[in-house]
Structure 1
Amino acid sequence: MEYFCQEINQPDDQINLAKAALYFAQEEYPTLDVEDYLNALDTMAEEVKERLPETLYPLKIIKTINEYLFKDLKFRGNTSDYYDPDNSYLNQVIDRRTGIPITLAIIYLEIAKRLNFSMVGIGMPGHFIIRPDFEEVGIFVDVFNQGEILFEQDCIQKLSEVYQQPMKLEPHFLEPVSNRQILARMLTNLKYIYINAEKYPKVLRIIELLLIIFPNHPLELRDRGLLYYHLGQWQQATKDLNLYLAMLPTAQDAHAIRELLQKIR
């Protein structure tokens, strides 16, 4: 957690996304060698670079990365076990060559960065995609679906498929997200996977990491307090829940939280 904290505590554009993701993976895989996986990403980028044609333009670079990752290395979206927690640990995604949209996107973004081809993450609701970092570029890449090229209309269709109803594409759905937001989204995925599996010590560890990214985030403090309550750690629960109420005294669940605090007393 110390190395993760060091990586996060710097300006967002200086956060090394792969390093930060591997540092939090060390919480689950303590023997993980971060440098080994960073070297693996370096090697991937070098192999893509050797395949690039002399005349470069965005679609040609994307096509070359796609062919290398999805045809040669056979990376793929894990459609058979989407909620496997290993889909959210970058070391496992690199080893198994399967993952969810956001972890596959990190591998793609890291390769592109090493090629000096700037790309950004796009945190659509329910589905994570990426795009070249140029104004009005108009194209997106769906890494979960073998690097499929999308246009804005395709993004609307993807949203409608995710929510199983016609959706309106709000402009902010296609805005780039920060490195902190990407890491928080990965961790939030894990948080709910572990909650559903009732693995509460792991949920607690994930919340601690989220609070490093966004210190004193009221909802994470509330959830940690509720978790402490569930685990019978009354003092810590009281501290977090009181802090939550101090930050959001008129929250929708404020009455229920006050009742819970009364019960603890």
Structure 2
Amino acid sequence: MQFSYLEHVDHELLPTIEIVWEVSRVFHADSDLYVSSFYQQLNELKEHSGLAQLEGVEKLRALTRAFYWQLGFSKAPEPLLSSKRVLIDRAIRLRTGEPFTLALLLQEAANHFGLVLELIDFPDYPLLRFDHDQHSYFVDPASGDLLRGQQVQERFEDATEGGESFSWDKLEAADQKIVLVRYLNEVKHALISDRRFADALTTVHMLLAILPDDPYEIRDRGYILEELDCNHVAVDDYQYFVEQCPDDPSAQLLRLQLENWTTPQTVLH
């Protein structure tokens, strides 16, 4: 399975949003319909909202109000991941999404209005950073709220439960590879949650196009293959993971599972 648009993300040859659109097209034949409607709504907003005449933070505040109120986007109401809230075309269709997906949509909306929002790879879910007049403002994509530095630090400490030291370099923009790996992992886990295992397997192949031979993705491929009743293929993936990551907590469980699969069963008559 080939995904050429994912093989060169280290060089950032394509805009991230275009790659995310391509991911949605793999799973939904009507994806372009919702992508087109999103840009149409942004064009209508540009014509009628007066946003184009604003600048700086005032423009950012007006844009977030329009995104969450006029366009009606909101955080997904379900406590569990669902692919209809992660895949970006479904989030457009339903007007609700996970914070990461909303961050990508808001970032693209800002770009449409001449504002540069950088995605920050943050614990729990990403934030968006806007730099203006030697100040940085941070947008919470779950709500559109603007945060300043102290609020961001407090959020980091809450998300990590004090287990990780905060530093300002954690607020640097994430590169395309980090963004796509994190997004595709959300897609993968959402599809597994939906029990769409064949689609989840496709997502693992996408991740392996970016991270060839990654033992954790290969382990997840083994799990999905097992769910698809392909144990004979899953064995190789589990074995690879155990060899590459022998000290991982899940490796011991997989060793026992592999032993059970390969040990002949006694048949009682």
- TM-score category (smaller protein): 0.7 to 0.9
Closer/same/farther in 2, CA of residues 87 and 248 from structure 1, 3 Å limit: same
Aligned pairs (5 A) from 1:206-217:
206-217=203-214
Question: Match of 2:244?
Answer: 247
Q: Paired residues, what number?
A: 259
C-alpha distance in 2 between matches for 1:14 and 1:114: 20
State the Cα deviation string for residues 187-211 of structure 1 (Å, max 9, x = none): 3223333434544334323222222
State the Cα deviation string for residues 160-207 of structure 1 (Å, max 9, x = none): 5657x5676622542322223222222322333343454433432322
Q: State yes or no: 1:76 paired with 2:74.
A: yes
Shift in Å at residue 140 of structure 1? 0.4
Question: Match of 1:85?
Answer: 83
State the Cα deviation string for residues 124-145 of structure 1 (Å, max 9, x = none): 1112210125796331011211
Question: Match of 2:112?
Answer: 114
Whichever residue aligns with residue 33 of structure 1, its letter is D
Whichever residue aligns with residue 20 of structure 1, its letter is I
Closer/same/farther in 2, CA of residues 106 and 241 from structure 1, 3 Å limit: same
C-alpha distance in 1 between matches for 2:200 and 2:115: 36
Match of 1:229 among 226, 240, 251: 226
Question: Do the aligned partners of 2:9 and 2:177 also contact (CA within 8 Å) in 1?
Answer: no
SS of aligned partner of 1:143: coil
Shift in Å at residue 153 of structure 1? 1.6
Q: Which moved more, 1:182-191 or 1:40-49?
A: 40-49
State the Cα deviation string for residues 17-47 of structure 1 (Å, max 9, x = none): 222222222333133227x615733651673
Question: Do the aligned partners of 1:156 and 1:167 also contact (CA within 8 Å) in 2?
Answer: no
Question: Do the aligned partners of 2:218 and 2:238 also contact (CA within 8 Å) in 1?
Answer: yes
Q: TM-score with structure 1 length normalisation? A: 0.80
Question: Do the aligned partners of 1:82 and 1:100 also contact (CA within 8 Å) in 2?
Answer: no
SS of aligned partner of 1:144: coil
Closer/same/farther in 2, CA of residues 221 and 82 from structure 1, 3 Å limit: closer
Match of 1:47 among 42, 45, 48: 45
Question: Match of 2:27?
Answer: 28
SS of aligned partner of 1:14: coil
Question: Match of 2:216?
Answer: 219
Q: Which runs of 5+ in 2 are unaligned?
A: 263-269
C-alpha distance in 1 between matches for 2:86 and 2:121: 15
C-alpha distance in 1 between matches for 2:137 and 2:177: 24
Q: State yes or no: 1:256 paired with 2:249.
A: no
Whichever residue aligns with residue 189 of structure 2, its letter is Y
Shift in Å at residue 230 of structure 1? 4.1
Whichever residue aligns with residue 31 of structure 1, its letter is D
Question: Match of 2:267?
Answer: none
Q: TM-score with structure 2 length normalisation? A: 0.79
Whichever residue aligns with residue 170 of structure 1, its letter is F
Q: Which runs of 5+ in 1 are unaligned?
A: none
Closer/same/farther in 2, CA of residues 218 and 167 from structure 1, 3 Å limit: closer
C-alpha distance in 2 between matches for 1:138 and 1:52: 21
Q: State yes or no: 1:141 paired with 2:145.
A: no
Whichever residue aligns with residue 245 of structure 1, its letter is V
C-alpha distance in 2 between matches for 1:221 and 1:39: 37
